[in-house]
Chains A and B, each alone.
Chain A
């Protein structure tokens, strides 16, 4: 999250219309180098930017939703849906209104997921990408609603769904209605699946809690970014519960592959090609 500052998307006019063209260039601020948490070396923001926020050592930095969309979809192919849906303080939770406002400012987004249609290497799909700088991608009613609508849209048109997850889990500030989004999205995934459609998830750092325990783990094919933390309970909670330090690499993407819960790890540079191949292999004639 410390690098968040560089990654803000530009404030362009199109943003107001709720559509961001793929290929929009983001500003790179001349900020001092950051230290990569993996190799401990200094990396310049410009270099990182050119490399899709991957350090030369292979460490994948977190990425904002718009940036991901820009690098993953065919240029100009993304059409955003439900861009204006915004969270409401449904149970009048203390401080939530302020938190929402702050999250909107910090992320430049109205909510913690961006949804739309796109083509990836020529393959048409419905796409959702979660936003880490909006309350760490937590799932409240709007996130659940947007993802559900996307699946319903895709089901009606026999479109595959590609979803990038990053989330701390269900959003506490919306109480039980956040929890209900797990069942709601799962119902929409089920209908999409029953109709014979493909759903690919790409799990990114971190994917935890109620998102892991619902649509993140419901893909036909589950991919993950290298080193991504993926789990149900967060590592700190587990350490507090068992009063032990967790082993190195626990709950990382590589660990999940080994345990049989993720199909493949795909580095960022290869994701577009991999998604395109998978979409092509599932083309419905």
Chain B
């Protein structure tokens, strides 16, 4: 068993498949679509139309890049507001054409900078949360690496949320938490334990529906399993009435911290 911090390291490890890797590994016929139609294109989020077997779907993935040049181009996977707005545009497009939406989440967090604030980072995330809550197509979100707070949640409001075995999901990075608690970012290992951020923790708190097995498998096998699981889940949701689906989505998030 890995410790919480070992999971954090695995989620951030070099060579781990990134968002585009998941798209290529699971879907066929992917056509990338760019831009938010408001301000700019944001390469930290990749999205478009693809097929899951024979079925058209909309796929959206955060992309960190795999070498230095690419990482800079992808802004290290930290989206700006236009990235979230592009994702929302593609989700609305999916709604129009009755395509399910599949999101792959992997970010250390929404980008933190002058431009991001000027263009309403908070507003962009808030709008995604509200819109995804009411999106009239099935939505499945999969946490594949880092699930960094609000910047991750902005693509993770779905009917189901899945998580890879070595991904983590947290309200704050272990380093951020350690600097607040102990004024020492180097105590990130302890902070990782305190935050309860592993896939097993998420399953236990019902934040996710299932853990996607990684250990002992090649990523090609992980992709094949995911393809099968996505197909089955979407088949089931295709037969669910949309109002029922939306009511269940509301309840899915409503239950966290319900006090009686």
Mask, A228-252, CB within 8 Å of B = 1, is: 0011110001100110001000110
Known: A233-B117, A241-B113, A261-B120. A217 touches B126 (CB 8 A): yes
Q: Are A183 and B149 in contact (CB under 8 A)?
A: no
Known: A176-B205, A177-B205. A141 touches B121 (CB 8 A): no
Closest Cβ–Cβ distance, residue B248 to chain A (whole Å): 12
- Among A141, A172, A194, A213, the most chain B Cβ lie within 10 Å of the Cβ of A213
Q: Which of B118, B125, B201 contacts A213 (CB under 8 A)?
A: B125
Mask, A176-202, CB within 8 Å of B = 1, is: 111111111011111101100000000
Nearest opposing residue in chain A for B78, CB measure: A241
Task: Give the distance in Å from the alpha carbon of A213 to the alpha carbon of B150 in the complex.
Answer: 7
Interface hit among B27-35, B41-49, B170-178: B170-178
Instruction: Flag whether A145 is at the interface (Cβ < 8 A).
Output: yes
Known: A213-B122, A232-B117. A141 touches B257 (CB 8 A): yes
Q: Are A218 and B126 in contact (CB under 8 A)?
A: yes
- Among B194, B201, B256, B257, the most chain A Cβ lie within 10 Å of the Cβ of B257
Q: Are B257 and A144 in contact (CB under 8 A)?
A: yes
What is the number of residues of chain A that contact chain B, defined by CB distance less than 8 Å?
Answer: 58
Instruction: Flag whether B195 is at the interface (Cβ < 8 A).
Output: yes
Q: Are B130 and A180 in contact (CB under 8 A)?
A: no
Task: Give the distance in Å from the alpha carbon of A140 to the alpha carbon of B171 in the complex.
Answer: 11
Nearest opposing residue in chain B for A191, CB measure: B250
Closest Cβ–Cβ distance, residue A165 to chain B (whole Å): 11
Q: Which of A85, A93, A179, A183 contacts B259 (CB under 8 A)?
A: A85
Q: Are B259 and A180 in contact (CB under 8 A)?
A: no
Q: Are A142 and B123 in contact (CB under 8 A)?
A: no
Instruction: Flag whether A94 is at the interface (Cβ < 8 A).
Output: yes
Interface residues in B186-239 by Cβ distance below 8 A to A read 194-197, 201-202, 205, 207
**Which residues from A are CB-within-8-Å of B118?**
259
Q: Which of A140, A148, A172, A188 contacts B172 (CB under 8 A)?
A: A172
Known: A214-B126, A232-B122. A181 touches B114 (CB 8 A): no
Interface SS of chain A: helix
Task: Give the distance in Å from the alpha carbon of A144 to the alpha carbon of B258 in the complex.
Answer: 9
Interface residues in B151-175 by Cβ distance below 8 A to A read 153-154, 157, 169-172
Q: Are A210 and B120 in contact (CB under 8 A)?
A: no
- Among A175, A212, A246, A259, the most chain B Cβ lie within 10 Å of the Cβ of A175
Q: Are A94 and B194 in contact (CB under 8 A)?
A: yes
Closest Cβ–Cβ distance, residue B194 to chain A (whole Å): 6
Instruction: Flag whether A161 is at the interface (Cβ < 8 A).
Output: no
- Among A145, A174, A186, the most chain B Cβ lie within 10 Å of the Cβ of A186
Closest Cβ–Cβ distance, residue B88 to chain A (whole Å): 13
Q: Are B194 and A93 in contact (CB under 8 A)?
A: yes
Mask, B236-260, CB within 8 Å of A = 1, is: 0000000000000110011011110
Task: Give the distance in Å from the alpha carbon of A216 to the alpha carbon of B130 in the complex.
Answer: 12
Instruction: Flag whether A120 is at the interface (Cβ < 8 A).
Output: no
Instruction: Flag whether B11 is at the interface (Cβ < 8 A).
Output: no
Q: Are A183 and B129 in contact (CB under 8 A)?
A: yes
Task: Give the distance in Å from the alpha carbon of A212 to the alpha carbon of B112 in the complex.
Answer: 14
Q: Are A177 and B257 in contact (CB under 8 A)?
A: yes
Q: Which of B112, B120, B122, B154 contacts A241 (CB under 8 A)?
A: B112
Instruction: Flag whether A170 is at the interface (Cβ < 8 A).
Output: yes
Instruction: Flag whether A105 is at the interface (Cβ < 8 A).
Output: no
12 additional A-B pairs beyond A171-B171, A172-B177, beta carbons within 8 Å, are: A141-B259, A179-B169, A181-B256, A184-B254, A194-B134, A213-B126, A213-B154, A232-B150, A233-B112, A238-B114, A242-B114, A250-B117
